[in-house]
Amino acid sequence: GMAGQVILEDGHVKNLKYVSSVNVRMSHEVQGCADRIFPYLVQEKEICHTLLVSPPRCGKTTLLRDLIRQISDGNAWISGRTVGVVDERSELGGCWRGVAQNHLGKRTDILDGCPKAEGMMMLIRSMGPEVIAADEIGSPEDVHAMEYAMHCGCRILATVHAGSMEELRRKPLLQQLVRKGSFERYVLLGNQKRVGQVQGIYDERGSLLYREELPGEQAC
């Protein structure tokens, strides 16, 4: 990421000049980081529609990456599924010339550098995914594409920025999906103790299923 003076063209950002600061983020994988939460995301040997929720820099992309790998390859909880990944910012697969440099599983198809909404529709029409994964849902088009995928029988894994479940429920973009119970699991992450701390796993009704043990407490 970069900051500086923005150059506009027809009301849209075209470029930057006089760059004043740079933010370098290194994509990396942490295989096995989803092990603890995976049992809570499965019902009757099927992965639940799951939304990973956190503020920036709390590990939701890293967690999503490992969930994709385990769903694709299969584990003790489910057999392997075909997974379609829309990697708009090349952060999940870290692709080089179309080939993922991170391990996303042997049954995973990746659309690298593709807008999320358009990519989800492309995968449904041509690749026959059982699960679709996308990072950082942020537009009405993204939400519409997710709903369409759900109605087509695909399971959805996605992430979104929010600091709490209350904040998520107040987001105009996702209010309707939350109210309807479209997502069966919500995983809320934080970084108070460490990056990727699981503050809670909730079902579609908002009931707490699991949270990490804090000092002096017992985990659910």
Farthest-apart Cα atoms in the chain, separation? 57
Q: What is the pLDDT of residue 220?
A: 42
CB-based burial label for 164 (10 Å; 0-12, 13-18, 19+):
middle
How much is the pLDDT for 41? 98
Query: In the beta sheet, which residues pair with residue 83?
Result: 108, 131
pLDDT at 80: 98
- Report the pLDDT value the prediction gives residue 155, as an integer from 0 to 100: 98
The answer to whether residue 215 scores a pLDDT higher than 70 is no
pLDDT tens readout for residues 152-176:
999 999 999 999 999 999 999 999 8
Q: Which residue has the higher pLDDT, 135 or 214?
A: 135
Q: Give the SS3 label for residue 109.
A: strand
pTM across the whole model: 0.89
8-state DSSP, 151: H
Cβ–Cβ contacts within 10 Å for residue 214, how many?
A: 12
**Residue holding tokens 């470029």?**
15
Is pLDDT above 50 for 201?
A: yes
Report domain extents, the chain: 28-210
Q: What is the rounded CA–CA span in Å between residue 172 and residue 208?
A: 23
Kindly indicate whether the domain formed by 28-210 is annotated with CATH number 3.30.465.10. no
Residue 219 has pLDDT above 50, yes or no: no
pLDDT of residue 214: 57
pLDDT digits (tens, 9 = 90+) for 120-153: 999 999 999 999 999 999 999 999 999 999 999 9
Please state, in angstroms and as integers, the Cα–Cα distance from residue 16 to each residue in 7, 8, 151, following that order: 6, 9, 41
pLDDT of residue 25: 79
pLDDT at 98 exceeding the cut of 70:
yes
Q: What amino acid is encoded at 133 in this protein?
A: A
pLDDT at position 93 over 60: yes
